[in-house]
Chains A and B, each alone.
Chain A
């Protein structure tokens, strides 16, 4: 037996010895790195036919998207020593390595006979001299920005392993006018600040807009007629409708992941509780029944739980309950007051606002309240909203010198904090899901 074992071992050793050096092998663990944005070369897409300059603009949008993510460093096209003349030939990788590029995007735009645009692109791994991705999209000319965002999403997904988030929109409250007579309008824009559109005229106050899962419907709170109520706004038709007819105020709406229900807060005699309205039959189900203020509900992505804020324990804290209102439990135990919880689309984290010691933070924690970490700090940071990939958040920042409200973004680790471009002052952002 032993002899057989030895023989087998010897055969294996002989077999392996041939292609491999017969030397000791050293084990190495690398556990620390040097996190740097990936240098990527994105030359202007080659135009084929008369494209009116769109090809160059598409590449510029892709560069801007990837740069804003903080994970990429698009190289200055002026530094390029080579060009992409034909995306169907293999690039000369040495010419891209020499400028320290690790990836190369080669794209071409074709204006088709029917006027539609076709974009072909390839993503090359410059280090390994191989193709990572090749895709083709086509669309009508006015949609060129969306094609650019889709190209960005494809590159981002391929290199990071995460879903992208560039082909998305943000609904927010646009603010203008003096502080005492602020005009607040419902507005929507692309995630990069392009194409801002005002949805209401500012005759009445609007607050807390939220997208439904198809990004076609917005629920928000408005003071139309002097009473705060929850309304729905259909982006396709421009129609608005009031959600239910209640004697008292309704606020803080949020869609369920399937889009069929809205969780909201209903105030009754000074007591606020959380309800779910089924949009198909408008039936209301009460979830909390507590003399304290329960509000700001947000569904888990699987639709089985809701996180919300309540001051039932004496101060505002974050709680979680099942969809039927059972098993209500507090999960935030950190300093100060914790509110406006929002469940990550990935399901793993809950983002929230902390107010403690005169400062505000945006924080994230696991859904059981563990591993809490603060990712932003400001005089008044509030109201986080998640990108659909669960990696980036936006929130409102006010005060601290810049009195007017602004929208900022940050990643879930607290890196890459930036101001989001908005037309004027803006607050209360809500990120759309990926646009279908």
Chain B
């Protein structure tokens, strides 16, 4: 009785390494636990973690700096007006003594504020659209598709495609847009994970940071990855498999191999 269970577990692990190998915060050994217990446990743990992470992010990372976004016009900022977050009044910069270097004159140190951090910049709910309109939109050449080539759509489409190829399809599109900032003293600081929800038209429906390092390098890494995610949309993925690709989680950006 125990043998088939064990082999079943390892077969699952081989077939879906990403699903099991890299939950964002929970770490589980791929070895040996009875399959059913492991998967149940994982499922519940992942749900709980997701729940917890959401709470954390909401509390700590949304900094109300933004002047409200006005897409249409140059409306005066509705929020705290000239938000000069930081004002450095320098002491008089009267020239220092004599030449030879008059221009070493001396501004006071500039206080640096840790970067504010905004994640989930666009968390609107997906626009409600008539399904026919959506289908039309997806079958006509994409109006505002930027540079992304439609290779994913061409390459896939068979209904028996494994989730791994959906992951590959997304990865092959995002990597072209991703220009990570490399070179942190601790390269682990630049690894970030997201949950990315996509609308049926391949646009970003929601983006949430799951894990990142809370320092300037981590903040820069989150922003570089967010820029990639937003600037690469819409993603070209097979519509008949939308139920599978409506959420990518964890979507992990790891530039460590690129550094060396």
Kindly state whether residue A335 has any CB partner on chain B within 8 Å.
Answer: no
A81 at the interface (CB under 8 A from B): no
User: Which residue of chain A has its CB nearest to the CB of B97?
Assistant: A236
Name which residue of chain A comes closest to B162, CB basis.
A26
Complex CA gap A293/B99 in Å reads 39
Given contacts A30-B251, A132-B115, A159-B223, contact A90 B70 (CB under 8 A): yes
Chain B interface residue bracket vs A:
35 or more
Instruction: Report how far A135 CA is from B90 CA in the complex, Å.
Output: 13
* Contacting residues, chain B, for A150 (C-beta < 8 A): 107, 110
How far does the alpha carbon of A9 sit from the alpha carbon of B51 in the complex, in Å?
Answer: 12
B89 contacts A31, C-beta separation under 8 Å: no
Binding site for A on B (CB under 8 A): 18-19, 21-23, 40, 43-44, 47-48, 50-51, 65-77, 81-90, 92-107, 109-110, 112, 115-116, 118, 121-122, 163, 166-167, 170-171, 174-185, 195, 197, 215-221, 223, 225-228, 230-231, 243-260
Return the contact of A160 from the options B90, B181, B231 (Cβ within 8 A).
B181
A93 and B69: CB pair below 8 A? yes
Cβ contacts A to B, 21 pairs, < 8 Å? A5-B44, A12-B44, A31-B258, A32-B257, A33-B258, A34-B178, A34-B179, A37-B179, A89-B76, A127-B226, A128-B118, A132-B115, A136-B86, A136-B88, A137-B110, A146-B103, A161-B218, A197-B101, A238-B98, A347-B185, A412-B183
Return chain B residues, CB-CB under 8 Å to A136.
Answer: 84, 86-88
A12 contacts B51, CB within 8 Å? yes
A31 to B251 alpha-carbon distance, docked (Å): 11
User: Does A248 lie at the interface of the complex (its beta carbon under 8 Å from any beta carbon of B)?
Assistant: no
Contact A160 B220, beta carbon cutoff 8 Å: yes
Residues on B with C-beta less than 8 A from A153 are: 110
Contact A129 B71 (CB under 8 A): yes
Enumerate chain B residues within 8 angstroms of A181, measured Cβ to Cβ: none
CB of A16 within 8 A of chain B? yes
> With contacts A23-B243, A31-B255 known, what are 5 further pairs, Cβ within 8 A?
A26-B19, A138-B90, A140-B105, A146-B107, A159-B220
B254: chain A residues within 8 A (beta carbon): 29-31
| Nearest CB in chain A: distance from B123 CB, A | 10
Taking the closest CB of chain B, its distance from the CB of A235, in whole angstroms, is 5
* Among A32, A94, A125, contact of B175 (Cβ-Cβ < 8 Å): A32
Are A34's CB and B177's CB within 8 A? yes
Chain B nearest Cβ from A316, distance in angstroms: 27
| Distance in angstroms between the alpha carbons of A411 and B124 in the assembled complex | 40
